[in-house]
Amino acid sequence: MINFEYVKANSAQSASEARIKNGASQFIAGGTNLVDLMKKGITAPERLIDINALPLKEISLTPKGLSIGALVPNSVAADHETVKTKYPLLAMALNAGASAQLRNMATVGGNIMQRTRCSYFYDTTMPCNKRNPGTGCSAVEGYNRMHAIFGASEQCIAVHPSDMCVALAALNATVQVSGTKGTRKIPFADFHRLPADTPQLDTNLQVGELITAVSIPAHSFNKAYYLKVRDRLSYAFALVSVAVALDVKDGMIRSAAIAMGGVAHKPWRLYEVEEFVTGKPISKELFTEAASIAMTGAKTYTHNQYKIKLGKAAIIEALTKASS
């Protein structure tokens, strides 16, 4: 048996200390991804630091924005009245993810930390730079229908699997972390990494740092839509997904936040598209052009060429649904 030590942390500080003390340790909350990874032999932590007892389960609204504790279950966040009314984009994205059972177990912090679902990452008999750096990427010349079209490298073309994170990226969320040296705030755009030459690193968290909360600033968006296109209607990862939040008045887009999922190693924010649509009146032509801008620079592989066409379609549809 691969034995591991199990400890319960009673404070964020002690959790971080325990994590640093043993480099082969990991935090565990809902465990919906970590347990899979352990069962599949992809990771074998020597110590699991259970953080479930930490007081990180609050959802609070201040004039500055919304704060969601890292241990709030996905289903609780999705059903929370404030989230539903003030941040409907986040509620929609949360409900698009996984299955009801998984959403009950998975936490907001864990959702951010989940690893890619690339098939090659999960099969330990196949080369994978993310799992075993230097062995090569099986997906580049393999079956890559689910894989990235933006920001990938020849070392890794995996995508980030989360729906929630796509909404958080669009909404300019900030990830609050605490470590042994104190706390810091990481803008969502800087939290996840592109693969480059170090695909084994998913995020910019330092060893020992623990996510304590996610905060989303107050905003003026009055329209939102999360569109997820997938192979079955529940419990499937996105082929592509689009998160759209708009501030619309009198048919005019005053501001926009748009991000995509299923296209890159991290939630893919579409700044250029946002800028393009801002200040313009809603029209079919506008959305069609926006979709073209969004797909500029996409690089496809053998099986994911459809993502350009589907990505455009999804952006048009999400903008249309959001603005209607």
Partner 1 sequence: MDKNNLYNIPPFADDDRVDGLAKVTGKAKFTAEHQLPGLVYGVFVCSTIAKGVIKNMYLAAAKNAAGVIDIIYYLNCPAVPGYKPADRTKNPNARDYTGHKVFFNNLVLSNGQPIALVVADTFERAVHAASLVRVEYDKEVPETDFEKNKFNGKLLKNRGEFLRNEKDAWKNAAVKLEQEYTIPIETHNPMEMHATTAVWEGDNKLTVYDKSQGPKGVQGELARMFELEEKNVKVITEFVGGAFGSGLRSWPHVHAAVIAARKLKRPVKLTLNREQMFTMVGYRPYSWQKIGIGASKEGKLYGITHQAVSNTSVYEDFAEGIVNVSQFLYDCPNVNTDYKILPLHINTPTWMRGPGPASGCFGLESALDELSYQLNIDPIELRIINNAEVHPQSKLPWTTKYLKECYALGREKIGWSNRPSVPGSLKEDGMLVGYGMAVGVFGAGRGGATAKGILKQDGSLLLQSAVSDMGPGTSTAMVKIGSEQMGLDDNKVRFELGDTDFPSGPTQGGSGSATTVGTAVMAVCDALKQSLKEMAIENIAAFKNLKPEDISYENGKLVAATDASAAIHFTDLLKQSSKPELQVSKTSTGFAQRDKYVANSFSVHFVKLHVHPVTGVIKLKHIVSVADAGKIISEKTARSQMVGGAVGGIGMAMTEETLMDHRYGRYINSNFVDYHVPVHADVPPVDVLFVNKPDNIISPTGAKGIGEIALVGVAPAITNAVYNATGKRIRQLPVTPDQLIG
- 284-294 vs 306-323: helix axis angle to the nearest 10? 140
Minimum Å distance from CB 315 to partner 1? 10
Contact 194, 153 (CB under 8 A): yes
Minimum Å distance from CB 44 to partner 1? 10
**What character string, x for contact with partner 1 (CB under 8 A) and - otherwise, covers 33-72?**
--------x-------------------------------
Binds partner 1 (CB under 8 A): choice among 149, 224, 239, 273: 239
CA of residue 103 relative to chain centroid, distance: 14
Query: How many residues sit in the footprint of partner 1 (CB under 8 A)?
Result: 35
Q: Please count the other Cβ atoms lying within 10 Å of the Cβ belonging to residue 186.
A: 18
d(CA 159, CA 114): 11
d(CA 95, CA 78): 6
Residues of this chain, 199-228, that bind partner 1 according to CB under 8 A: 227
**6 binds partner 1 per the rule CB under 8 A:** no
Choose between 59 and 122: whose C-beta lies nearer to partner 1: 122
**250 binds partner 1 per the rule CB under 8 A:** no
d(CA 7, CA 14): 11
d(CA 242, CA 213): 24
**232 binds partner 1 per the rule CB under 8 A:** yes
Choose between 5 and 231: whose C-beta lies nearer to partner 1: 231
d(CA 169, CA 301): 25
Q: What tokens appear for 291 in the block?
A: 């979709």
**92 binds partner 1 per the rule CB under 8 A:** no
Choose between 108 and 239: whose C-beta lies nearer to partner 1: 239
**313 binds partner 1 per the rule CB under 8 A:** yes
The stretch among 49-57, 116-124, 147-155, 196-204 that binds partner 1 (CB under 8 A) is 116-124
Binds partner 1 (CB under 8 A): choice among 11, 135, 206, 234: 234
Sheet holding 238-249, edge to edge: 223-230, 238-249, 252-261, 268-269
d(CA 281, CA 165): 28
**285 binds partner 1 per the rule CB under 8 A:** no
Return the sign of the alpha-carbon dihedral for residues 184, 201, 18, 71.
positive
The stretch among 8-16, 120-128, 149-157, 203-211 that binds partner 1 (CB under 8 A) is 120-128
Helix H segments across the chain?
A: 12-21, 34-39, 74-79, 81-86, 88-96, 100-105, 108-113, 119-122, 164-170, 188-191, 271-277, 284-294, 306-323
Choose between 157 and 316: whose C-beta lies nearer to partner 1: 316
**4 binds partner 1 per the rule CB under 8 A:** no
The stretch among 85-93, 118-126, 255-263, 272-280 that binds partner 1 (CB under 8 A) is 118-126
d(CA 172, CA 221): 12
**122 binds partner 1 per the rule CB under 8 A:** yes
Binding site for partner 1 (CB under 8 A): 1-2, 41, 99, 117, 119-120, 122-123, 125-126, 138, 141-143, 145, 227, 229-236, 239, 306-307, 309-310, 313-314, 316-317, 320
